[in-house]
Structure 1
Amino acid sequence: MKAKQSISRKLLVSVLSVYFVLTFAVTCVQLIAEFSNTKSYITKELRTLESTFSASLTRAIWELNTPQVVSISDGLVAIPMIEGVLVRNDLGEQLTQSGNTDLNVVEVNDTLFDSEGDLIDSNSIALTGTMITGENGLFGYRFPLVFEFSGRSTLVGDVTLFSSRNVVIDRILLSVYFMVGSAFAKTTFLIALFLMAFKKHLTTPLDDLVEQLENLNQQDVADMKLDVDKLSGSELSIIQTSFNSIISQFSESQNKLKQTQKQLLKSNDMLDQQNLMLEQEVSKKTANLSQAMMDLQRQKYQLESNQNSLKQEIETRSHTEEQLLKKTHELENTIETLQMAHSKLVESEKFAALGGLVAGITHDVNTPIGVSVTATSVLNERLKEIDHKLENQTLSANDMKAFLAESKQSAELLTNNLQRASELIASFKQIAVDQTSEADRLININAYLNEIVASLKPELKKGLHTVNIDCPLNLEISIPAGALSQIFTNFIINSVIHGFDGIKNGIIDITVTDNVDQIDIIYHDNGQGISKDQISQLFDPFYTTKRNVGGSGLGTNIAYNLVKQTLHGEITAHSEPEKGLTYNIRFPKVIPS
């Protein structure tokens, strides 16, 4: 029976796989280093060209000799490492552009150039405002043209020399071929070397050993010894020696067994001869047999005693099993009790949120009602004054006009503030009803989110926090509105308590997107954020970092269950310390019944 895959093949594949990976990595590093060195060398050569052509170009521009400028530019382009040349005057106007026609150069602000040459490339140009478009990998060198006259230096323009990645690749192409060929040759040689070594030292000896083991003659023990050449003191040689030693011991044991069988036959003959003598000694042995019977009886009693002990042990184990079953039932009851307690805690958390909502709305309603009470008091005082003047017949037209004006102002004040109180109470009533109900209701998501934020303004005003809502104005769906209210109430309260702890002017962004059959909501605050360890436990029940100040750890767990079970949606969260916390919520427009 041959193995499905030999040890030598597995070992060879493992070694060669590691070598291939290392060879590939080293070759890639060499190619990158060669490319970088060649690019640096071309950059230095571009800098060297400044001293060669700067004087002639400066003189030609100073003398307004444009044909000579064009001629020098064409000469520069003829240099293999230069892809294109751009020459401009001191006003930033293009005098000539030679070389690659794909180099569409856009005029830039002269204030971005200084009096010294600087190295540029296609990425840094975009950052500094130099606009150059062309193939990826474009780079070049720009230097100013300064004319010296009578001890004065005058900037007459600048020159930009362009090169590209293709030039670098052309220069290192031969080196690339050599490195790849060298790696291929070394790899081929190493594979051949490994194959020869494995075949000589492992595969061939191991195959011979397996073949001899499969062809052993089990009938002749002396012929079962292994004799494999070329093991040369390896572990396989130790295995062969140990196996042969075992066979030798087994052969000796067989010989001893045969001798013992012969002795047993002789003993049987002697026993036959002694039978007659034994019959004569039967009477003598009767007493011994009686004693043996008594011993057997004693052993019987001992066995019965052991049997009783076993019965008692079985009864004890049965009793223990009953106790374990009883404990199991108690644990099941405890789990049911914990589940009921969890449900009660969830309800308590909902009503606690509702209580906070009541406290907040009470604060907001008190303001317009207080203003209304003040306006009513002032109006009553003015009525008493008018009534007194009317009885004393001292009421003048001016008094009446003043009274009417003040009455009109008080009536408007009463109307506005009572209308505001009515709107707050109506909004609170709808939010409160939704939070205690799971019935579906057609809502405008934009308006409903604003109502939720309005009900939480007392909490937001404590830290001057802001909530921004980005939602389509006409987005209406029929969902359990209470679930949506509870989710965003918990999110906003958590942001205020945890995310904005020690932060003023926190910002919360709520973005709602209508994606045909589903709604996507992104909730983000710019608070303190949480770590990776904390984000993994964010939706676990009873997990909170504010337990010492009254936190229950059920807010995010309730929101998670409402999204998953009530809205049949998905919710994820991600955060980094000092970068805020983000929730991604997705649920269908039509909630399955």
Structure 2
Amino acid sequence: MATKSLSRALLTQVLSVYFLLTVVVTAVQIGGEYYDSKSVLLEELRNQQSSFRGSIARSLWEYRYDQVEEFAQSLIAIPSISGVRVRDDKGTVVVQLGDVSSVSQLESLTNDADEIPEQAGIFGYHSPLAFEFSGESTRVGDVSLFTNRTVIIERLKVSLAFILANALVKSTFLLLLFTLAFNRMLRKPLRELTNQIRGFRLDALEQSRIQLHDRTNTEFSMVQNAYNQLLDSLADYQADLTLSEAKYREANRQLDSQNALLQEQVARKTASLSRVLVDLERRKDELETRQEKLLREIKQRKEIEQDLREANERLQSSVHLLEQTQRKLLGSEKMASLGDLVPGITHEVNNPISVSITAASLVGEKTAEIEQALAAKQLTATQLKGYLSVCADAARMIEESLNRASDLIASFKQIAVDQGSETVREFELKPYVESILNTVRSRHKQIKISYQFSCPEALFIRGPAGAYTQILTNLIDNAVLHGFDGQSSGVIKLSIERQQNSLHIIFADNGKGLDANGLEQLFTLYYTSKPGQGGTGVGMNVVFNLVTEKLAGKIVPSSKPGEGLRYDITIPAEFITPSA
């Protein structure tokens, strides 16, 4: 399909408008020259009348019409005069020479001396003739001098030629200039841009980048930058897709391994349970006497197992919730830090779960031993007391471990809800910040970090808790990733105090610090000192936007190389008094 040339169409429209304007301007100039020349001719007619009016008036007074005719012949010989008409005081035409208009036109004149309107290309000037005798002025007639359009055109020939030649030269010059400019600034870059885009290859994104020869800041440079950024995003997407595929294959492999292990355990437990049932059936008569006691023990065991199953289901539900939360948060840079908390929280939750499983396994083993002793009729009171003691200790350990896991999950869920939501709520600042520090601490165990935190007691505020969580999490992550890079330990100082109707927060670390250039670009979007090594250049920009826009506050960083980094943050806050 044939394509239309954008530069040619645009050039055609521009030149069409220019030519139209040139024609209009030229027409206006010609009209102006015409009316100027007409005014000059009328002024000449007025001057000629002033010169001959006295002589013609005297000749009319003396009835010397032959002399009037001589004066008329003299006037008609002047190039600017094409006609003469002289009338006496009764309106009778005495002399009429050359091209003149009709006498009826004189009747429409309102003044004695006035211009004669143009008719059939003829116009002129009319004035009365008066003769003064003995101090009295007597009207003896009138005189009319005429000229025509031909006289004006003869005078305008040179001016018209110059105007038309000037318009033609300017039009030709601008046509060449526009053609060259459009070819150089639009058509040539468009052709180069089109040819480079046609060379796009999905398997060679770096070679498909656009490099225009003209690097001036034009719209083509913007198109080039946008296209190259699109290629960068496509390359990042391909890398993320490859990594996701690898993670997916690894997860499937681990799932297959866990399924095989689970099937093996189910088969082993099923076989063991079958043997126990056969043995119980064979010794049924011997156990009838102790049925009531065993029923109580079995009931207690089932209750423990039921509690364990319920706790396990709750934990599995919580882990599932954590995994869902992680998947949702990984899609947004604002919630990326929450996704990083999941592995640490999962590790912390696994410890009490492992203790609970160990305690449950111990109860199972002791129960099996009691069943064997009971079956052999060798159960003693000491064994039974020991069994009950083990069960009590195991129940206590399970309860403590599950409470610990529940507290960890509740803390994480609160942070997850706050960080993923913009809901405004009431909360006490000190314990809330401590829960954030405890949560963040679990995922930075590779570095020994000492937290020095100070905050007044019973400091309640109403605000978006998630914004405070995001700010503190990003500040700590930035300190660990950039400030403590290459260090085995570090110190983070966090101070919060109330100043009238505002919160004053000081966050400082003893890391590597920043130079003047790094400090200037600290909050610049996509600026990072560790590209490709975990730094995205978004976290501190998010902190800046949350403090200045979301919370209407201000943040001032200060740092020197080797002296750490400090943030002074002032945020307007709504302080509240908790209800009793």
TM bucket, shorter chain: 0.3 to 0.5
TM-score with structure 1 setting the length: 0.44
Work out which of the two has the higher radius of gyration on C-alpha atoms and give 1 or 2.
2
TM-score (norm 2): 0.45
